[in-house]
Structures are given as C-alpha cells and as structure tokens.
Amino acid sequence: MTDMHIDHSVLRDLQEVMEEGYLQLLETFLEDSEQRLSQLHGARTANELGMAAHSFKGSSGNMGAVGLARLCQQLEERIKERPPYGIEELIHRIDQEYLEVQRFYRSERERVSAN
Amino acid sequence: MPAERMLTVLVAEDSATDRLLLAQIVRRQGHEVFTAENGEQAVALFAEKRPQLVLLDALMPVMDGFEAARQIKALAGEALVPIIFLTSLNEEGALVRCLEAGGDDFMAKPYSAVILGAKIRAMDRLRRLQATVLEQRDEITRHHHHLLNEQRVAKAVFDKVAHSGCITAPNIRYLQSPYALFNGDLLLAAFTPSGDMHVLLGDFTGHGLPAAVGAMPLAEVFYGMTAKGYGLAQMLREMNAKLKRILPVDMFCCALLLNLNMQRGTVEVWNGGMPDGYLLSTSGQVLSPLASRHLPLGVLGAERFDDSTEVLPLAAGERLLLLSDGVVDTADEQERLFGVERLQDVLTANRDPAQLFGEVMQALERFGGRPRDDISLCDIRMFAPEERVPAPTLYSDSGRSSALDWSLGYELRGESLKRFNPVPYLVQLLQEIHGLRSLTGALHSVLSELYSNALEHGVLGLDSWIKRDVQGFAHYYQERARRLGELVDGFVRIDLKVEPLAAGGRLTIEVRDSGAGFDVHKVLSRPPEDQGLSGRGLSLVQRLGSSAQWCEGGRCAQVQFEW
C-alpha cells in the first residue's frame, strides 16, 4: 500500500501500544467500519449523515487510514454548506477508498495471525 | 509507561475501535480501566465503581457526553472527579459546551498516548489538591468546635469568679455582649466594707482565650482587695504588678477604675488607656470627661507605675458613663469612625437616663456601622444611703475563740505616710475578734475617716474649708498630692486596745497626728449639712461608735466600740 492511504508510523505506534491486543483491534476495526459505512448510506437526514461522517472520521484517523479520514472530513464540511453539493459523488469516493483500506487491514490481519 | 500512581479510569466511547484503543492506552499507563458505550452506561458505571478520572466522548447515542458529564459531576459532589472530553469537534461553540457541562479538559482525535498521559497526570494533581482541601476543611471545623468548647468552659469558670460582685446594684446600668469576655472586655463592681463602691471597666488586648485568661487573676485581686477595704492606689499597684508578671510582653489591660465614696460625695478616678468616661449632671449634661492619664495595666514596672488618682465631687443623682472603645471605633463601609463627637451629640440630646443606652445603640445603627461584639456601656448613679449592700464577710479561721485582752500601737512616719494605708490591715486584725465581725463596716469607716483626717488636716495641714465648691475641690486634691510629695517629717499613730467586759468586750481606737490640732467645739457645733463636702465627718464618727471624743487640742481622736 502506498502512503496516501495509510500512515505507517501510526500503524507502528498502534502495534506497540496494543501489544497482544493488536489483532483484536484490527478485527474490531474491520467489523466496526463496515457498520459505519452502512450507517453513512442509510442516513436519512443531513444531520444523521454529518454525525456518521464525523464518527467514521474519528476511528479511521485513530487507525491511520488518513485518506479515508480526510474524505469523511470533506463530507462533514460539505453537508454544512448551502446548498450542499456533490454529496453523492463524495460518498462514492469514500466507498472506493474504503475498499482499499479494507483490503490492507485484512492482509495486515493475516500477517499478524501467521506470526 | 508506568504511572506515578494507579488510578481507576472510566472510558465512555461509542466507537468500538476507539474504545478499545483508548482503554489499552490508559491501561498501559498503569491504570485500571472500565469502559462504557454510551452516556447512560457511563453514569451507571460511575455510580457503581466510583472511578477517579473520566474520559467521555462528546457525541454518544442514548445519552450524550454533555448530559453524562452533568450527572457525573452531580454524583461526585464535593470531590473533584476530572472529566476529559474526547472530541474532534473543533468549533468554539462545541468546545464551550464541553466546559459548561463540567468538562475539565479536551482530548482531540486521533489519540496521542503522550498527550493523554500528560493530561491524566495534570488532572490527577488537581484531584489530589481538592481532596487535600476538603480534608483540611474538615480538620479546621473540628478544631473550631474544640475551641468553642474551651471558651464555654473558660466562661463558666470565670462566671463563678465574677458573680461575687454588685454589678446588679440598683444604681448601676450596663450593656455588654455575652461574648464580651472573649473580646477582652471586663466589667466588675463591688462594695467595700465601709460602703464605698469600686468599679472597674477593663479591655484586655487580643481576642479569644488569650484575652480572657488575664481577666480571672485581675478579677480575683479586684474582689479580694475591695472586700478587705483596700484603697484604689494599693489595688492598682497590685493589679499592675500581677499583670506585668503574668502576661506576655505584648499584652496588657486598659482599665478605668472608680471609687465612689457616698459619705464624702466624691468619686476617685484612674484611667489608663480607656476611652474618656463622662461625669454627667442630674439632667444629663456632660460636666467633665474622665480622660486617660496613665498607661494601661501590665506595661510599666513597679518603680515607674503611677497610681495617682483624680478626685472629683459627685453628688447624689449625678452619673458616670463608662464605655469601651467598641462604641467610638465602630466604622461604616467607607471606614469612617463613629467617633467622640457623635457620641457627645447623643449625650447632649439625651433627656431620660433610662433611654441613654438605647439612644447610643440607635445612633450606632443609624450611622451604618458594622455591628461589633466588643461594645460595653456602663452608667453609674451616685447612690443613696439606702442602696448600700452589706459586704460579704471573709473569715479564714475555724471559729475558735480569740484573744480579748490586748493592745497594739502602730505609728507611720515620713516616707511611709506617702504610699501606705494601714487601715485595711488593722481592720483585718480586728476581724479576729468575733464580737466585732458584724461591725466590720463601721470599723472600716471610722478608721478610714480618722486616718484621713489625721493625715490630711493634721500632718499635711490642709483646711477642709477649701473643699466647699467644685473648683476648691480640685484645688484641695492637687494641694494634697503636692504636700504629700514634699512630706519629710510628721507621723500618724494608731493605738488599739481590746479589753473584756462582763458580757462582751470593748475596743478603744486612738488616732494621733503630728499636726496643729483644731477647734473641736466649733466644728461639732456647726449644723451637719454644713459639714457636707468639707468638715471632718465628725458626726459620722460619733454616730458609728459607742462613744467618740477629741483631746490634746484636736490632735487625738478617740472612738470606742462595745459588744
């Protein structure tokens, strides 16, 4: 994976902090982030969408998925503008980004389980 | 990263990922961690586990962080439980909401273990500070109750000492706070055996127990010596010496002492450091101030202590007003003082003596002064003969029989005449005779009268005619002090003879002086009213004893008592 998706220094810190719990963290994130993504799609009001983007931004940031976090940030800001524009397109880009992130963390999970 | 001390920490975060991460970060810093998914769980967990620190996500479902923080702070009560909000909300409004909800700090996402560790340590310092403050507050409260109790006990002891006076005599009115003793204010009054009244208004330095503790020995001296018939000068010397000896260097007692002598219509005054007292006419006009002319008691050593008193005429119905400095020192919010002038205005305007205290207190209230605990007021009217109280008799023997056949001669010469009054000693001696005990008052009056006649008119050669009016009065006592100071020769001799009779006994008192004598017949033939202020009180002496005569040209007075 390239730098614009994942911040590897954050990942290294995570591994150090979590110690044996690193694997569980990866599992939790993968499960958690799928839920967040469907929350994002299922949002019915601008407010709900904003809060979903906000939460997703938080956990992605903590996990080092900087690209994803940045996109969620944009979405959060875009929603507040009058009129809001390009929301659909932004959500689509988030979907794309998430696929990359998901693939990375899955392989990371494999790597750790093997050791 | 090991923590300096282990805390229990509550982490409330709705994102599973973030919750897991955060809990691990905090655990790794050496703390015990409980986790909650929403605000409601957070509050319940807080009530159950009582953690010392709370990390709270701002936006949570069910109950958000703001409401959870409010409830947690309410549960915490007086103790400080620091709350650190977790938020990526960076608008000012949101951050202000965190603070208003009771948050003590923020942590931004993504989490930094280093920053979190620093914040936890800082919050813990505050938490411990608050705990210390509460502990010390409780200790101070305990000490305070202890102190109040000590004061209660001290006051109970003091009241036993103080009750032996005559402060409730009909010619005295007074106003004093129940806390007066612990402001150092002291008001004592007692009759001498011959019916004079001694009054003391005192003000010890300091507050609380240290101010009160000097009052007890002082009161004992005052009551003891007054009951034995000592004069002001001797009492002042004794009180000053005692206080100088027992009080620390920076403590002393301002005092105003009075001796009201009804027989002569005089008041003797000593004021060391107290505010001016006032001598008031029967209609309440200020006749003269009783100003402070001495240092307070307990300051000077015996050699430099000045026991000289002022003597002023005081007719029946005239009054003395004494007050402590709480009246004049009362201040309003601008720190202006009530002052002497406002007080004198109240005195001038007063028409009914019974209302005077009320008028003073009203004036203080109108002035807008802050109420004080150390205001003492005392109003003493020159008493009429029927207001005398029989003096308590002090016996120290077991009631065995006493010697009834003896004589004693006592001669005071030169220097001794200046500072020593033998009358109280001789009266005490005579109290050994049981039959004379009921006459103690009369004995004291007669001996005092004869002795002062012998000294003033005999040895010093003062003419009692000088005392016929008020100016003459002041002049007389100035002259007395001057001539006494210059005295070199001269004597007063007192002879006592006790002999048994069939059913009792007889005491013969002879008082001789080295003076020029006087024309006894001329003085005795004057009507008694004329003998008033001047005169030698001869008719009094004649009345009190079984017999009285003067011989040797007036230089020897002889009085007899029989029982």
Q: CATH number, domain at B26?
A: 3.40.50.2300
Coil/strand/helix, residue B511: strand
Q: Judge whether B227 and B242 are in contact, CB under 8 Å.
A: no
* Cα atoms in the 13 Å half-sphere on the side-chain side of B377: 17
Sheet (strand B556-562) strand order:
B406-413, B491-501, B504-513, B556-562, B547-551
Task: For residue B190, give the 3-state DSSP assignment.
Answer: strand
Query: Measured between CB atoms, does B17 come within 8 Å of chain A?
Result: yes
Phi, psi of B186 (to 5 degrees): -135, 130
Looking at the structure, tell me whether residues B176 and B305 fall in a common domain.
yes
Sign of torsion over alpha carbons B423, B427, B429, B430:
positive
User: What whole-number distance in Å separates Cα of residue B204 and Cα of residue B212?
Assistant: 8
User: Does ipTM surpass 0.85 in this model?
Assistant: yes
Q: Check if B64 contacts A (Cβ < 8 Å).
A: no
CB contact under 8 A, B17 and A25: yes
- Distances B225 to A101, B48, B190, B231, B350 between C-alpha atoms, Å: 104, 72, 10, 8, 36
DSSP class of residue B455 equals I
B65 domain residue, yes or no? yes
> Which helix H or strand E contains B413, and what residues bound it?
strand B406-413
Question: Hey, is B230 helix, strand or coil?
Answer: coil
Q: Are residues B76 and B219 in the same domain?
A: no
Helix (H, G, I), strand (E, B), or coil: what is residue B137?
helix
Q: Residue B113 and residue A17: Cβ atoms within 8 Å?
A: yes
Chain A: residue whose CA lies nearest to B108: A58
DSSP reduced 3-state for A85: coil
Residues within 8 A of A (CB atoms), B 68-107 only: 88
The domain that holds B413 is classified in CATH as 3.30.565.10
Same domain flag for B221 and B339: yes
Specify the DSSP class assigned to residue B197.
E
- Fold classification of A8-114 is Four Helix Bundle (Hemerythrin (Met), subunit A) (1.20.120)
Whether B306 and B167 map to the same domain: the answer is: yes
* Residues 6+ positions from A81 with CB-CB distance below 8 Å: none
Contact status, residue B86 vs residue B55, Cβ threshold 8 Å: yes
Q: Which residues of B touch A17 (CB under 8 A)?
A: 21, 24-25, 28, 113
What residue segments make up the domains of chain A, in order of their start? 8-114
Distance CA B562, CA B546 (A): 6
B317 and B373 together in one domain:
yes
- Shared-domain flag, residues B21 and B117: yes
Give the distance from residue A95's alpha carbon to the nearest chain B alpha carbon, in angstroms: 19
Digits of tens for pLDDT over chain B (563 positions)?
A: 444 689 999 999 988 999 999 999 999 999 999 999 999 999 999 999 999 999 998 888 888 888 999 999 999 999 999 999 988 766 677 778 888 888 898 888 888 889 999 999 999 999 999 999 999 999 999 999 998 888 888 888 877 776 657 777 888 888 888 777 778 888 999 988 888 899 999 999 887 778 888 888 899 899 989 988 899 999 999 999 999 999 888 899 999 999 998 878 899 999 999 999 999 988 888 889 999 999 999 999 999 999 999 999 998 889 999 999 888 888 888 888 888 888 888 888 888 888 888 888 888 888 877 777 778 899 999 977 666 655 555 555 555 566 678 899 999 988 888 888 899 889 888 888 878 888 888 888 899 889 988 998 888 888 877 777 777 888 888 888 889 888 888 899 999 999 988 778 899 999 999 888 877 777 777 665 554 444 557 777 878 888 888 888 888 999 999 88
Task: Verify whether the Cβ–Cβ distance B109 to A17 is below 8 Å.
Answer: no
Q: Does A13 touch chain B (CB under 8 A)?
A: yes
Count how many Cα atoms sit within 13 Å of the Cα of residue A104 in the half-sphere of its side chain.
Answer: 23
**Interface touch A21/B15, C-beta < 8 Å:** no
User: b/e for B199-229, b at 16 or more Cβ within 10 A?
Assistant: bbbbbbbbebeebbbbbbbbbebbbebbbbb
CATH number at residue B198: 3.60.40.10
**Co-location of B498 and B463 in the same domain:** yes
Chain B residues whose CB is inside 8 A of the A33 CB are 17
Q: Does A3 touch chain B (CB under 8 A)?
A: no
* Residue B466 and residue B554 share a domain: yes
- B63 CB near a chain A CB, below 8 Å? no
B372 with B424, same domain: the answer is: no
Domain count across chain B: 3
B155 within domain boundaries: no
Structural domain contains residue B398 = no
A47 interfaces chain B, CB cutoff of 8 Å: no
**How many angstroms away from the CA of B76 is the closest CA of chain A?**
29
Chain B neighbors of A24, CB-CB under 8 A: 20
Residue B515 in any domain: the answer is yes
Residue type, A111: R
Q: Which amino acid is at B69?
A: A
Task: Report cis status (omega within 30 of 0) of the bond before B371.
Answer: no
Q: Is B140 part of any domain?
A: no
Q: Is B144 part of a structural domain of the chain?
A: no
| Residue A44, min C-alpha distance to chain B (Å) | 17
Chain A touched by B449 (CB under 8 Å)? no
Boundaries of domain holding B293? 163-387
Identify any residues that bridge with B172 across adjacent strands, giving them in sequence order. B380
Residues B306 and B347 both lie in one domain: yes
| Residue B79 to chain A, least CA–CA distance (Å) | 32
